[in-house]
Structure formats: structure tokens, C-alpha cells
Chain A
């Protein structure tokens, strides 16, 4: 047991050395990241059924950074916003809000061209995913803010709420 703990302590020392090398390399490499990340995480998702039901019932009340179903419908109809679907491409193709762009939350670098070409930095962006309990739109909104998009909010009811309301939908890849 003593020998085992000694090796774990050695493992910690190894990790410290490796981390220092990593920080040094990060400082000189062209795609290095800031050691201290500024900003804050977008957090609108709820994770229990009770909270989800409460959020759905309360979805007309305005909240900072959160778009309600009615607001979403108005904004989609007016065409004044860029709507981004944070779900997987498979889910997007099964059905999505008309005119929305698909950028899966975990594949943002792959979709950099889409962002560059179709989403101006000053655009009013609304992200959505599956439902109130889904984290993907929060994660995407957080990363978009880090990239430099200033006007980003989340339609927290997501595809489930949009679909249940009987609002228009599109299927298949984006035309």
C-alpha cells in the first residue's frame, strides 16, 4: 500500500511537470489559449422534471438572456435574428425551426466557415436545442460569446416546445 501511494505521489509530480511544459508550449504556439478565460458560462437549462415543468409554465416571464416561445415565434417571423440549432446534425435533419443554422455544440471549429460567412459579429443570435433540460444551447451560447459574439441568447424551451406549439418546421439538411 505504501509503495502504491508512493507511485501515485510520483504520478502527481509527473503531472505537475507535464502541466508546466504544456503552459510553456501554449505561450509560444500560434493557437495557444488564454490561461485565464474571461466571461461567464451561459446557464439556462434545468435538470429535473419538476423544474422543467415549472420553466414551461413560466415561459412567458422575461429572463435575462432567455427567449420565450412567444418571443421566439415573433422574432423568427420577423426574420431579424440568426437562429442556431445546437443539436446533432441527425436531430436537426429530422426537424428544425425554419431558417435555422445547424452548429452542433461540440463541433464548433468544424463550422467556423458557416459562422464566418453567415453570422455577422453584431447579429442577434438565438440558440436552441432539444428542451428545457438540454445543455447544448447553453454550451454553444457560451462558446459564441467567447469567440466575440455579443448578442447571444437562448430559446430555452427548444425544439420540443416549438413543435408542441404546432409552429412551422423544416426537415432535412439546410437548403
Chain B
């Protein structure tokens, strides 16, 4: 089980799945900044006047991190950015639910699903995926991976008894 979690194959799959999901989500937001800013205002968490700026910062951070994850450019730092974005999403969605608000989550631009505990579960799962990328990515199939997981974090297969 540990070999699976720390293995290269899962790390690559996680890069493509999380990167692909974030690219898909961010593309609409980058294309239509006013619609995403509208979703940001719905949360009533940050000052109204800063909603547009916040929307731009979030959407461009998402698309940068997504492309870098997929291509393997500074992979672990890109996963770090996605990790932090997910923390922001989880806090934002949780606060709306605690306050009894049901609003458009803005996850994929405008007109997406409403805030729910299921979204929190999904984001926590993605968070675990990011953690695995940061912890175990060794630069395999990457354009410019930057830092790599430290030796020992990525266990090599055991040598067979016959060799």
C-alpha cells in the first residue's frame, strides 16, 4: 500500500488529474473574470471593494499552478500553490455552510454547484493528493521539476533475492 502511495505512477496520475481539474476550473474564470468576481462576492468573506482583485489573483494562480503541474515545471511548488488554494476553498465553503448560506460555489466559474459538505470532502481528497505530490514527486516525466523528493522519501523497489 505504501509503495502505491509513494510510487511514481500514482504521482503522475495525481499531477494530471489535479492539474487537469484545476485547468478546467480556472479556464472559465480567467476567460470571464466578472462572473467569477460575482461568485467571490457571494461568499461575503472579503471586502467588497477587493472582490475583483481577489478573483483575478485566485483564477490566475489556479491556471498557472495547473499548467505547471501537468507539464512538470517546479512541480512540488505548483502542488504547494494548489494545496494553499484548496485550503482557501475549504475555509470559504465551510464558513458559508456554518453561516447557513447556500450560494453558487464558483468552483468552475459561474452557474456551478451550490456550496455543500460534499465539496469539502472533494477538496480534502484533492488536498491529500497535493500532499502526496509534494512529499514524493521525484521529477519523473517533468519538463523542469525543480526540487525533488529527498532520497528515502521515494522507496526503491526491493532487489530480488536472485540478483
Residue numbers of A with Cβ under 8 A of B are: 3-4, 6-15, 17-19, 21-23, 25-26, 31-41, 43, 45, 47-48, 104-110, 133-136, 139, 142-143
From the candidates A19, A40, A136, A143, name the one contacting B56 in the complex (CB within 8 A).
A19
Q: Compute how far the CA of A105 lies from the CA of B84 in the bound complex, rounded to whole angstroms.
A: 28
Q: How many residues on chain B are close to A (CB under 8 Å)?
A: 53
Is A11 within 8 A of B42, CB to CB?
no
Q: Compute how far the CA of A126 lies from the CA of B135 in the bound complex, rounded to whole angstroms.
A: 53
Is A106 within 8 A of B111, CB to CB?
yes
Residue of A with least CB distance to B133:
A7
Contacts of A34 in B (CB 8 A): 52
Is B77 within 8 A of A11, CB to CB?
yes
Other A-B pairs beyond A4-B135, A18-B81, A134-B102, 20, CB < 8 Å: A11-B65, A11-B79, A12-B84, A14-B64, A14-B80, A14-B81, A15-B84, A19-B57, A22-B61, A32-B33, A33-B52, A33-B55, A39-B48, A47-B101, A106-B42, A106-B111, A107-B111, A108-B38, A109-B110, A139-B41
The 18 sampled A-B contact pairs (Cβ below 8 Å) are A7-B79, A10-B76, A10-B81, A11-B82, A11-B84, A12-B80, A14-B65, A14-B81, A15-B57, A15-B61, A15-B65, A18-B81, A19-B61, A37-B52, A105-B42, A108-B110, A110-B111, A136-B103
Is A31 within 8 A of B32, CB to CB?
yes
List which B55-85 residues lie within 8 A (CB) of chain A: 55-57, 59-61, 63-65, 68, 74, 76-85
Q: Compute how far the CA of A80 lies from the CA of B11 in the bound complex, rounded to whole angstroms.
A: 62
Contacts of A14 in B (CB 8 A): 61, 64-65, 68, 74, 77-78, 80-81
Most buried by A among B32, B76, B79, B150: B76
Contacts of A136 in B (CB 8 A): 103
Nearest 9 interchain pairs by C-beta: A11-B80, A22-B60, A10-B77, A11-B81, A47-B100, A18-B64, A106-B104, A19-B57, A15-B61
From the candidates B33, B57, B82, name the one contacting A33 in the complex (CB within 8 A).
B33
Interface string of B81-117 (1 = CB under 8 A from A): 1111100000000000001111110000011100000
Is A133 within 8 A of B38, CB to CB?
no
Contacts of A6 in B (CB 8 A): 147
Contacts of B52 in A (CB 8 A): 33-37
Q: Compute how far the CA of A3 lies from the CA of B59 in the bound complex, rounded to whole angstroms.
A: 26
Contacts of A41 in B (CB 8 A): 41, 44, 48
Q: Compute how far the CA of A19 lies from the CA of B84 in the bound complex, rounded to whole angstroms.
A: 14
Does B17 sit at the interface, judged by CB under 8 A? no
Is A21 within 8 A of B60, CB to CB?
yes
**Given contact pairs A7-B77, A14-B65, A47 touches B99 in the complex (Cβ within 8 A):** yes
Q: Compute how far the CA of A31 lies from the CA of B55 in the bound complex, rounded to whole angstroms.
A: 14
